[in-house]
Amino acid sequence: MNDLSFAVPLWVWAAVSLVIAVMLAVDLIAHRDNHVIGFREAAIWSAVWIAIGLAFGLVLLWWQGSEVSSTYYAGYLIEKALSIDNVFVFALVFSFFAVPDAYQHKVLFWGVIGALVFRLVFIFVGAELLQLFFWTAYLFGAFLIWTGYKMAVSKDAELHPDRNPVVRLVKKVVPTDPHYHGGRFFTRIGGRQVATLLFVALIAIEATDLVFAVDSVAAILAITTNTFLVWTANAFAVLGLRSLYFCLAGLLRRFTYLHYGLAVLLIFAGVKLILSETPVGKLPIPLTLGVILATITVSIGWSLIATRGEDNGEPTPGTGHPAGAEPEPADDAPAVTPSTGGHESRTRPR
């Protein structure tokens, strides 16, 4: 599989990883008080993350030229678009476990760290397979086409976090208390260390994102197998997931037709990956960028136009707590029974 190839010194990998770590640390420090995140704060942080992601593309333009930069932007855009689907899952998990608003950012913070680790592993494994065995392009391509088809025809399939095998295994292996104890993942009850309901919600986020990471990485590998570009596009897109959730929370139910756009992107990525191992070869990056931008614009625009005039004054998905209502962080907090809260699942089926 022919692809972009340019030397990336070890110090560049280290520098980029350090920048990502610093950004995560800044985000953690900024939200260490577990305050409820409002739309204005989320919008500012989202703008910061997006600006950083776009700025990195300019660095690549200066360092390696327009082809490398355009390839990065194509990967970044498709990852950013697919990350909106993650937001629907976050809303469902938070609603199901009735996670208090003030602790949602903490769950998402650690969830994003897990997402970065999963994607890093999948990137190196997937890229190596595509380089060593040409026929894996057909397998990955078929998988993306099938995933896109399933997303298009089964948008209302229910997702039950409590039935996830990983969540069920954790509950069996780790002693768990069905209460929230402030913002803690673990606490001591009767002299015994137990996991809290917040930890169970975190595992649900991680487990569902593990599945998302597979087709997410496969989609960007259809654009390039250069591990540095794939990793940076993934990392900078995923870093803004927390802010994106709080920014889009009130608009989630208006994205009625977004799943069609994401389905088109996955199918396009699958076809592109298969064609790369045929006489047609890899599709031009400008064409890829154009398809991604047009698909995202049309699907989101179509959704917002079709649902204009609808009341969006509902509480933040996940809790039903009014914005600004601070939950009690005491150790003797009452038990919270997981509930879907009447929130519709619009995530892709598995």
Whether residue 265 contacts residue 84, with contact meaning beta carbons closer than 8 Å, is answered with: no
Q: Give the dihedral of Cα atoms 191, 192, 197, 201; nearest 10 deg.
A: 140
Categorize the per-residue pLDDT at 14 as very low, low, confident or very high, splitting at 50, 70 and 90.
very high
Check if the beta carbon of residue 171 is closer than 8 Å to that of residue 200: yes
DSSP line for 90-130: HHHHHHHBT--HHHHHHHHHHHHHHHHHHHHHHHHHHHHHH
* Per-residue pLDDT, 98: 86
In this model, does residue 326 exceed pLDDT 60?
A: no
pTM: 0.76
Convert the pLDDT of each residue in 223-258 to its tens digit.
Answer: 888 999 999 999 998 888 878 888 776 666 778 888
Helices (H), 133-240: 136-153, 165-173, 197-221, 227-239
Instruction: Read off the tokens for 98.
Output: 């009735």
User: Where are the chain's structural domains?
Assistant: 10-121+158-250
Q: Residue 342 pLDDT more than 60? A: no
Measuring CA to CA, which residue among 155, 122, 115 is closest to residue 255? 155
Q: Region 93-115: what's the mean pLDDT?
A: 86
Contact of 211 with 190, CB cutoff 8 Å: no
Please state, rounded to an integer, the average pLDDT across all residues of the chain. 79
Percent of the chain topping pLDDT 90: 15
Distance CA 252, CA 100 (A): 18
The b/e string for 37-72 (b: 16+ C-beta within 10 A; e otherwise) is: beeebbeebbebbbeebeebbeebbeebeeebbbbb
Report which DSSP code applies to 195: E
